[in-house]
Amino acid sequence: MNAKLTCWMLVVALSASLFACGDDSSPRRGNGGDEDTGVESDAGDAGDAPDADDAPDADEPDGADEPDVADEPDASVEPVEVDINGVWAAKMVTSGIAETPIGESQSDTVSVLRMEISSDGQNLTVVTETCDVTIESDAVGASPVIPDALVNSLPITERGGTFVDGNLVLPTLYEVRGAQNFDDLRNDPLPEDAEDPRVYDQDGDGNPGITVSVEGVISGDIYLVQRFSNALVGSQTDDGRIEGRVTWSDEQSVLGSSNEFLETLQPQSEPNSDPDASYFEMVSVESTADCATIASQSGSLFTR
C-alpha cells in the first residue's frame, strides 16, 4: 500500500479520543470550569447543572437528539429503581467518518470509564476517569499506541448534570490536550506552531503538546494538540442500567512528528451521521471498584 495513503488512513483513526487510564496513584486531576486545566463544561460549576426542561443549544454538540424510546417493557417485569449515587462503570463509543482517497473510513473509539456520581436533588456531580480505550478502524498498516507518559498526564474530569424521572443529561464537556491558557476554550483556534506560548509538554516527554506513537508499516511519534467534546443523553432501562446517545466533536492540530509521513496529511473525521453509532452504557458497580477492575471486567459488564 502506498505509504502516504496508509498514513492518511492512520491519522483518520487518530481523530478521536485515544486515551487510556493510568495507575490509580497517578496525579491526574481535573476541574469542571477552570480554563487553565484545559477542561470546561456547559454545566459550569458542579452544582449549576441546567434544569431538565432546558433544551440544549443546537449550535453546540450538546446531545440535542434524545435517544429513541425503547419498546414498551413487559408489564410483568417491574423496573429496577435506580439510585444514581455511587460508582458506575461506563462504556462510551464515539463513531467517526472521514473521506479518504479510496472512500469513506470509519473509526470507532471505545472508551471504558469509571464515573463517581453524587446528587443534590435532581442535580448531579460526575467525576470521570478513563480506564481503557480501544480503536476499531478501517485504517490498515499501522496502529496507534498511547505512551504511559500521556496516560498519566490526563486529568480526571468533573462536570454537572441532571437525573430526572430516569432520564440522564450530561451537558457538553470540552477538553483541550497539549495546550492551555485559552481565552475561549471552546472557540479559540488551536495552536499550529510548537512555539505558540499556549503549547506545553503535557505528558512530560520533552516534545510539544501530547505524543501519540505509531507502530506498523509506518512508525514514529506524532506531536499534537487536540480539542475534544462529548455530551451524554440517556435513560434508565428495566434492569437498572442507563443507556443513550453520545454527541461529540473533535479537532486536532499536528505540531510535528518524528516521521514526516505522519504529518503529510491531517484529515479530520466527522461524527457518524447514524445517531445510534455513538452511544454509551452505564452499570452500577461496587464503590471499591477502581479503574483497573472495571477495565478487566468490561467484557462482562456491558451488553454491547
CA Rg value for the chain: 19
Question: Average pLDDT of 283-296?
Answer: 96
- Provide the 3-class DSSP secondary structure of residue 130: strand
Q: What is the per-residue pLDDT for 23? A: 39
Q: What is the per-residue pLDDT for 132? A: 85
- Which residue did the predictor score with more confidence, 169 or 19? 169
Q: Taking all residues of the chain, what is their mean pLDDT, rounded to a whole number?
A: 78
Question: Average pLDDT of 279-296?
Answer: 96
- Alpha carbon 47 to its chain's center: 22
pLDDT above 50: residue 30: no
CA separation for the pair 104, 97 (Å, rounded) = 7
Res. 100 pLDDT band, cuts 50 70 90: low
Tens digit of each residue's pLDDT (9 = 90 or more) over 39-82: 887 754 333 444 444 434 434 444 444 444 344 445 555 667 78
Q: What is the per-residue pLDDT for 3? A: 40
pTM of the full predicted structure? Answer: 0.76
- Which residue did the predictor score with more confidence, 86 or 45? 86
Give the cell for residue 231: 455530551
- Which residue did the predictor score with more confidence, 294 or 6? 294
- Which residue did the predictor score with more confidence, 210 or 108? 210
pLDDT above 50: residue 123: yes
Q: What is the per-residue pLDDT for 185? A: 94
11: left (phi over 0), alpha (psi -120 to 50) or beta: alpha
Res. 267 pLDDT band, cuts 50 70 90: low
For the chain, the first-to-last Cα distance in angstroms comes to 33
Q: What is the per-residue pLDDT for 202? A: 94
pLDDT above 80: residue 8: no
pLDDT above 50: residue 11: no
Tens digit of each residue's pLDDT (9 = 90 or more) over 203-262: 999 999 999 887 777 789 999 999 999 999 999 999 999 999 999 998 989 999 998 887
